[in-house]
Amino acid sequence: MVLRDQAFSSATVGRVGEAGNIKRSSAKRWVDGIGGAKVLLLAPGFNKTTPRNRVVKKIYLIRHGQTYFNVRGIVQGSGVDAPLNDVGQQQARQFHAAYHGVPFDRVHISTLMRTQQSIQPFLDAGLPHEKHRALDEISWGHREGTRITPEEDIEYHGLLRAWQRGETHLALRGGESPEEVAARQRPFIDEVLRGRPEEENVLVCMHGRAMRVLLCQLLNYPLSRMDHFEHRNLCLYKVHYTGSMFSIRNYMDTGHLG
């Protein structure tokens, strides 16, 4: 899969395979993106803006594991603090088994228990962590805690279409808009992801819609294109930060889940 339209600034993209891993390429090349924009495809490890002595920060961005509410189609958002179910707990163990060898400096999670439970094996091993309200899921307002009905499904998809048209200031009654979520994420991006050079490998666990908003901000996408960033329970986006730009190395990677 190719992320074709990441030419809104100097952000870079790479080719990703079925399991989400970047495929090797012998050279850099430009391809046509959406609207005629040119997009640079880079081989792994190549970044002409990165000095030789610059350490690339590696960000392992994951969505939480499965909850019972996920299975039942009940809206969680930031107002329902549901635990992982048995499948979600297994997903957490599988992710830890695949990535426990990464020398993470710190884990960053939301304030909701499903993110902490998703990375609990790392905490049990003594890895330090921080909780951030900035990483909480979008608030779905009056829909939270309710099963999706046909009427609500119409409302929900109508809102998604409005967001795709660029009306990202809109929200469900009592809920948050993508623009409000983006605003609360920016201090985290500046302080933790762009800052803290001592944290070279960081693990971030958060939520589906909020993750889409975050990726838009890191990669300079307009929020109207956030649905380009698909997600599943305990999927991984691996992002590199060179000090001047972010780039995706793994796209919705679930290879660790078997």
- Determine whether the annotation assigns residue 115 to a binding site: no
Report pLDDT for 104: 98
Q: Are 134 and 109 in contact (CB under 8 A)?
A: no
* pLDDT confidence bin for 6, thresholds 50/70/90: very low
Q: Is 200 a catalytic residue?
A: no
Q: Is 108 a catalytic residue?
A: no
Domains of the chain: 50-257 (3.40.50.1240)
Q: Please state the rounded mean pLDDT for residues 55-63.
A: 96
Structural tokens at position 61: 């961005």
- Determine whether the annotation assigns residue 68 to a binding site: yes
- Determine whether the annotation assigns residue 63 to a binding site: yes
- Determine whether the annotation assigns residue 64 to a binding site: yes
- Determine whether the annotation assigns residue 114 to a binding site: yes
Q: Please state the rounded mean pLDDT for residues 144-153.
A: 82
Q: Please state the rounded mean pLDDT for residues 133-144.
A: 95
Instruction: Please report, to the nearest 10 degrees, the dihedral formed by the alpha carbons of residues 233, 111, 197, 41 taken in order.
Output: 30
Whether residue 48 has pLDDT greater than 90 = no
Report pLDDT for 31: 36
Catalytic residue among 137, 144, 176, 256: 137
| CB neighbourhood size of 46 (10 A) | 14
For every residue of 11-27, DSSP letters joined together read -BB-BB-TTSBBPP-SS
- Determine whether the annotation assigns residue 232 to a binding site: no
Per-residue pLDDT of 73-130, as tens digits, reads 888 999 889 999 999 999 999 999 999 999 999 999 999 999 999 999 999 999 999 9
Per-residue pLDDT of 192-231, as tens digits, reads 999 999 999 999 999 999 999 999 999 999 999 999 999 9
Is the pTM value of this prediction over 0.85? no
